[in-house]
Amino acid sequence: MSPPPLPLLLLLLPPLLNVEPAEATLIRIPLRRVHPGRRTLNLLRGWGKPAKLPRLGAPSPGDKPGFVPLSKFLDAQYFGEIGLGTPPQNFTVTFDTGSSNLWVPSKRCHLSSVPCWFHHRFNPNASSSFQPNGTKFAIQYGTGRVDGILSEDKLTIGGIKGASVIFGEALWESTLVFTVSRPDGILGLGFPILAVEGVRPPLDVLVEQGLLDKPVFSFYLNRDPEVADGGELVLGGSDPAHYIPPLTFVPVTVPAYWQIHMERVKVGPELTLCARGCAAILDTGTPVIIGPAEEIRALHKAIGGIPLLAGEYIIRCSEIPKLPAVSLFLGGVWFNLTAQDYVIQFVQGDFRFCLSGFRGLDIPSPPGPMWILGDVFLGAYVAVFDRGDMKSGARVGLARARTRGADLRGGQTAQAQFHG
């Protein structure tokens, strides 16, 4: 669930750096896992956009870190726990790099808002630190719309307490998607320009209030179906135990979404996509990899994808060990995805169903055409999101995730290849 239309501002950022971020205190937020099933194959796709883009604003510098465990739902939703209010009222939220607002369902939600009744709801009367704001907000996602009012209260996240944040109390949520979605709400980790009503994103608030050393965070998304945990969100830096060094840093080209330049994409030895270079967004709120429809059709032809419906493609499970690698050239480095990485497997008893992790979508210009590198990519490669400061621009660091033996279960190895 992440947003499109990008701002007009285009910044030229420093060249590629292959260095590790400086040491800092890390805050860990575990992500929980929900075992996959078939019933919502089509419901959790899509990425959203803010109802309107607020004024351009410069990201805030800062310096102090944290960790949030993540859970996952159908290998499509990764989420962790936060608290709001005093004493904290607990909610599960999707940590979304494609949006910048925090919202949860409200105790005051409309009777007609069915999703509200299937999730935890914030009760302002139960919090001694609640401050009313009352400004109305609306966020339009690709999977539905959320309307409500803004409020202010204390945020608890990964052991950090006492941050005063403005967040949305959702009074109405549309569509079945929000009803079946496991998380209660969304915590956006995009740039301030994406935040509706000019609200300061939670990451900025943590840095400004001295609760986080650096405006840096990283995601380790565990996609191994045999392991219970869903991974970890690390605030303030990254944990080298999650990845195989070195990190390759690529500059952010538009500081709104986490947008970078992708030089090209190879499917096996024959097919080249994004041949002249293209824009790509790293989005934890999108479960799959999205690319222009014509190119994704060519990709599926190369990997033997069988059309299902609504843009879905089936992959023959028995063919997985024989399928070609899909390689993305980012920052002068090839990042390979094997079929084990890009095929989403649903297993229930003796039943096994394999679905392609690629979707075709033509995003109009601006900001398209572009690719969206969602959880299929971010499960294979740990991403370190660094907002930078007044001296250095924003950047994203990438390194192969340590996958607890997943690379040994078959298929090709997928270490990053270093080429010019």
- Write the CATH number for 377: 2.40.70.10
Distance of alpha carbon 47 from its chain centroid, rounded? Answer: 10
Region 290-295 average pLDDT: 96
The position carrying tokens 């919202």 is 103
The Cα 103–Cα 281 span in angstroms is 22
The Cα 162–Cα 155 span in angstroms is 6
79 in any annotated domain: yes
Amino acid at 177: V
Sheet holding 264-267, edge to edge: 271-273, 264-267, 326-330, 333-337, 417-418
Residues 188 and 309 in one domain: no
| Residue 92 to residues 120, 167, 242, Cα–Cα distance (Å) | 8, 14, 23
Residues 303 and 252 in one domain: yes
Per-residue model confidence as pLDDT tens digits over 10-24: 222 233 333 344 455
- List the alpha helices (DSSP H) in 256-408: 293-303, 339-342, 375-380
Distance of alpha carbon 246 from its chain centroid, rounded? Answer: 22
CB 380 within 8 A of CB 337: yes
Residues 173 and 287 in one domain: no
Per-residue model confidence as pLDDT tens digits over 171-230: 998 867 777 778 899 999 999 999 999 999 999 999 999 999 999 999 999 877 666 578
| Residue 16 to residues 209, 253, 254, 262, 393, Cα–Cα distance (Å) | 31, 12, 15, 13, 11
CB 76 within 8 A of CB 44: yes
| Structure tokens given for 226 | 């045999």
> How sure is the predictor about 404, in pLDDT bands with cuts at 50, 70 and 90?
low
Give the list of residues 6+ apart from residue 213 with CB closer than 8 angstroms, or none: 24, 25, 62, 63, 64, 65, 207, 236
Specify the pLDDT at position 286: 87
- pLDDT surpasses 80 at 381: yes
CA dihedral 19→240→163→257, nearest 10 degrees, is 60
Residues 262 and 170 in one domain: no
Specify the pLDDT at position 16: 31
Residues 127 and 275 in one domain: no
Specify the pLDDT at position 83: 97
> How sure is the predictor about 51, in pLDDT bands with cuts at 50, 70 and 90?
very low
Instruction: Say how many CA atoms lie within 13 Å of 76 toward its Cβ.
Output: 26
Beta bridge partners of residue 151, listed in sequence order: 132, 167
- pLDDT surpasses 80 at 416: no
Region 248-265 average pLDDT: 96
- pLDDT surpasses 60 at 64: no
411 in any annotated domain: no
| Residue 282 to residues 9, 131, 189, 325, Cα–Cα distance (Å) | 18, 34, 11, 20
Better-predicted residue by pLDDT, 179 or 136: 136
Specify the pLDDT at position 15: 31
Residues 195 and 275 in one domain: no
The position carrying tokens 């997985």 is 320
265 in any annotated domain: yes
Better-predicted residue by pLDDT, 115 or 136: 136
CB 82 within 8 A of CB 67: no
Beta bridge partners of residue 295, listed in sequence order: none
Residues 302 and 168 in one domain: no
- List the alpha helices (DSSP H) in 195-304: 202-208, 293-303
Residues 70 and 170 in one domain: yes
**Nearest to 7, CA basis, from 78, 61, 58, 74:** 58
Number of domains within the chain: 2
Q: What DSSP state is assigned to residue 60?
A: P
Give the residue from 194, 209, 224 where a domain finishes: 209
Of 263-272, 279-288, 345-354, give the lowest mean pLDDT range: 345-354
**Nearest to 113, CA basis, from 99, 103, 101, 128:** 103
8 in any annotated domain: no
18 in any annotated domain: no
Give the residue from 152, 186, 209 where a domain finishes: 209
Residues 105 and 254 in one domain: no
What are the residue numbers of the active site? 96, 283
The Cα 132–Cα 44 span in angstroms is 32
295 in any annotated domain: yes
What is the span of the domain harbouring residue 388? Answer: 243-400
Instruction: Say how many CA atoms lie within 13 Å of 42 toward its Cβ.
Output: 8
Distance of alpha carbon 318 from its chain centroid, rounded? Answer: 30
Residues 273 and 388 in one domain: yes
Residues 305 and 202 in one domain: no
Residues 382 and 268 in one domain: yes
54 in any annotated domain: no
349 in any annotated domain: yes
Of 2-11, 34-43, 125-134, 180-189, give the lowest mean pLDDT range: 2-11
